Each structure stands twice: as structure tokens, then as C-alpha cells.
Amino acid sequence: MIRRVLLLSTSKVYGSGYLGYCDAEIRAFLEGVRRLLFVPFARPGGMSHDEYTSVARERFAEIDISVMGLHASPDARRAVREAEAIFIGGGNTFVLLRDLHAAGVLEEIRQRVDSGIPYMGASAGSNVAGLSICTTNDMPIVYPPSFDALGLVPFNINPHYIDPEAGSKHMGETRETRINEFHVFNDVPVIGIREGAVLHREGGSLRLAGSSGGILFRPGVEAEELAPGAVLDSLL
Amino acid sequence: MIRRVLLLSTSKVYGSGYLGYCDAEIRAFLEGVRRLLFVPFARPGGMSHDEYTSVARERFAEIDISVMGLHASPDARRAVREAEAIFIGGGNTFVLLRDLHAAGVLEEIRQRVDSGIPYMGASAGSNVAGLSICTTNDMPIVYPPSFDALGLVPFNINPHYIDPEAGSKHMGETRETRINEFHVFNDVPVIGIREGAVLHREGGSLRLAGSSGGILFRPGVEAEELAPGAVLDSLL
């Protein structure tokens, strides 16, 4: 089993276009792929599945990859089974997971990734690649039947990771505090990936690509800064 | 039925102590109360129920109110039925709601508030006073059996409300975007209460007290700024 997984912290970084900052990683990761199954369920900003799929279609046309939206398939399970590569886009993680359950494709996606096809996720699509969505930043606007996720990597993701802001007067919890609270109730490691960073798994190899790095949180130990390029095979 | 409800945006504002900013509102609201049932389930920072109850006990001693922690009662339902006033403290809303379900006290709390005893909530304790916890800011670190909440007010709360930050380079959703996404899937009005603001219901009267105001979000209409002192009876 060679799992191929590319997890993006965000769809956009400030000042660049859709999936612009990680263009080189995506091109290398999808080398040879001609058709991509896009999952638009997370619906950022509440946009429609068709609109969101169009955004992805336009972007991937630049690298000669055609895009089909999973919502448009009359048989979602079959669409997954026949997919050459899967990309789950960002938006609201709760809406995404609820609709993955409703479409009945979670197990199919796992099996396809286990068979070696490339899986790409951005933001919410990265969250659902972890063991659970318990470290999403999103608002719980709908109730999914479970918080368990795809488990394509044996830890959780916190995308859009932001460091505590020195001198902030806001009393809401920092991201770090939230993840530490998660570890009061859970043992699963969490990788916070900053905007601009990308987590890349190839089988037994795991590397933090992109420019901005991340943080590794584990229960009971000090959080660990992860520099761009960090090798994380030991987490697999 | 005279529901008496005081919902605090936060436990602390910057530069003041625990429940310091809303001291006058609390004194007036709890006038005549001598014993307070404190619900420490939200466990801010993962602290223990005993530790959290001590924090509340110390604070309310200043106004001659004695505090009992609900966790310490051998019969939680009975403790609620006999409570003179209830205060649910802040922390993680998902942990709080899960543990309210586990203790089997949601219906008892509703009935007590319907019978006229004062209910006070801070942050997560304000979230659970709304129709659902779907507009919490918290991380979903545990899975509650439902997102439905106490419904002591016929709308949802977003505590610690913060306005979009002009010039931010972070691509994660603003609070406003998140609440607008909530309204793609839900019809319930949402009141965002800024740190320092307090929502006060006395039967058919609803007023926004405190210094910092809030925002009213309703599906399909422009968000509405709520000045300190705003009268919101029409939402009841």
C-alpha cells in the first residue's frame, strides 16, 4: 500500500490566486494524471456545487487536467471507484463531512487511496484526511453523524494554523490553547500547518513542503516547531 | 412564564478580573439570590471541575453568594430542581453540551428557568442558552449527541464576536463569513455579542447591556449593528 496524499493548509494565500502558492507541488504530485474527481461538498461561502466545481475546473485546465464534480455523478460510489485522482476542496468541514456520509463514499475514498491513487485536500479537505475533524477551525453549522474522518494520515490536521498574537486584547482562545484543550480529551497528534505550507505523504515518507512551516502538538509534550522541509516519517 | 436570562459574551475582558466588566449587571440580576448552582463542565484550558468551581466560588463570595458545583452533586437532576439560580461557565461548548447530556439535566434546566429562576451563562454558557451550539467559535474536541441546546432565547448566540479585521492577510474565514455560511443552512437569527457586552432577558424584554454592542444576523438581510442599550424585544 502506497498512500499518496497532498494536504494544503489553504486554497489561497494572501495576494495569490486559487491554488497558486502550491503550483509546483501540485504539478509534481499529479504528474501523469489527466482526470480529477473534485468534491465540492464543503461549499465555501455557501456557493453551489456547480460554481465551486467551475473554479476548480478552470484552475486545473491550466495544467491540462479535466475536472468532474462528484455531486454531478449519478452514482457517487462508482465515480470514486473509477477516479484517477481525488481532490476535496476547502470550505466548511462539518458540511463536507456530513455530505461525504450522505453520499456514502468515505470507505470508497479510503480504498481508492489505499490502492495508490493521489488524494489532494485543501483546508477542510485536509481536515477530513486526518483521523477526525476535531481540530477544524470551522463553525459547526450542520451536525454530521460522526466526527471520524478518512484517516489517510495517522494524526489530525489544523489548517490555516496561526501563532498566538503577541499583545492581543481578545479573550477568545488562541489556536494553541484550543489544540491543547483537544489533548485533554484525545491522544492523537495534531499538525498545525500555516498558510503556505503543504503536507506531502508518499507511502512511508512524510514531508512538510511550502514556505511557512508548521507546529507539531502531542499530548504531554512541548509543541514542536516544524521548519519548511521537515521530514516527519516517524509520525507514520 | 418569566424567563430571566443573563448572557455574557466572555468571562473576562482584557485588563479586568473574572466577571469584572459585568459586575453591576450580575449584582442587579442576582439580587436576593444566596445560593448559585455552578456548572463547570466546559472546563476552560482543561482545568478540573473542582478548580473551576473554586474560581467561581471566590468570585461570588464577593457578593455574598455561595456556590455549589453541579459535578459535586450525587444527584445532578435534583441539584438543578432545587437550584435558586444557575450559572454555566465558559470553556469548550462541545465538552459542555456533551456533559450536560451525560448528566441528563438539559430538560431540568429548561424547566427551572421556565419556573422563573435566574440563568446566567458566560461564553460557552451563553452558547448553550441559544437554540443550538451551531454558532460557537470553539473547536469540536468531543462529539456531543446533538447540537441542539437549551433554547432559553429563540435565537443563537455568537460570543466573543469580533469584527472583520481590515487589511488582514489571513485567509481563514472571518466571523461574519462563518455566520453567513450558517445562514445558508439555517434560518435562526444570530446575535454576535462583542467582548464586554451582555444580553439580558426578563420575560418579554430583551436588552443589550454593557459597553461594546453587538451585531444581529438574519438570513437574507443585511447584518444590523446593535448599539449598547439596544432594545430587542421583537426577537422574542
HEC string of B148-164 equals: ECCCCCCCEEEEEECCC
| Ordered strands of the A156-161 beta sheet | A156-161, A190-194, A214-217, A224-226
B135 to A139: CB separation less than 8 angstroms, yes or no: yes
User: Which residues from chain B sit within 8 angstroms of residue A185, using beta carbons?
Assistant: 46, 95, 141-142
* Gap between the Cα atoms of A23 and A196, Å rounded: 11
Architecture of the domain made up of B4-153+193-212+229-235: 3-Layer(aba) Sandwich (3.40)
Name A178's Cβ contacts closer than 8 Å, sequence gap at least 6. Answer: A135, B138, B139, B141
* Gap between the Cα atoms of B36 and B26, Å rounded: 12
Q: State the CB neighbour count (10 A cutoff) for residue A93.
A: 29
Q: Give CA separation, B168 vs A170, B77, B171, B214, in Å.
A: 16, 47, 8, 21
- Given the cut 0.85, state whether the ipTM is greater than it: yes
A181 to B10: CB separation less than 8 angstroms, yes or no: no
Residue type, B100: L
Q: What is the DSSP letter of A174?
A: P
The predicted pLDDT at position B20 comes to 92
pTM: 0.96
Which residue(s) pair with B7 in the sheet? B121, B199
A162 to B139: CB separation less than 8 angstroms, yes or no: no
User: Which residues from chain B sit within 8 angstroms of residue A196, using beta carbons?
Assistant: none
Tens place of pLDDT for every residue, chain B, 236 residues? 799 999 999 998 888 899 999 999 999 999 999 999 999 999 999 999 999 999 999 999 999 999 999 999 999 999 999 999 999 999 999 999 999 999 999 999 999 999 999 999 999 999 999 999 999 999 999 999 999 999 999 999 999 999 888 788 887 889 999 999 999 999 999 999 999 999 999 999 999 999 899 999 999 999 999 999 999 999 99
Number of inter-chain CB pairs under 8 A, A vs B = 122
SS3 A136: coil
Our answer to whether residue A64 is catalytic in this structure is no
Our answer to whether residue A123 is catalytic in this structure is yes
Closest by alpha carbon to B144, among A219, A228, A146, A205? A146
B171 to A13: CB separation less than 8 angstroms, yes or no: yes
Nearest CA in chain A to B167: A14
Q: Does A168 score more than 90 pLDDT? A: no
* Gap between the Cα atoms of B199 and A1, Å rounded: 56
- Residues of chain A contacting B, Cβ within 8 Å: 10-15, 43-46, 92, 94-95, 133-143, 146-147, 160, 162, 169-173, 177-186, 195
**H-type alpha helices, chain A:** 23-29, 49-61, 76-81, 93-103, 106-114, 124-127, 175-185
* Gap between the Cα atoms of A156 and A128, Å rounded: 9
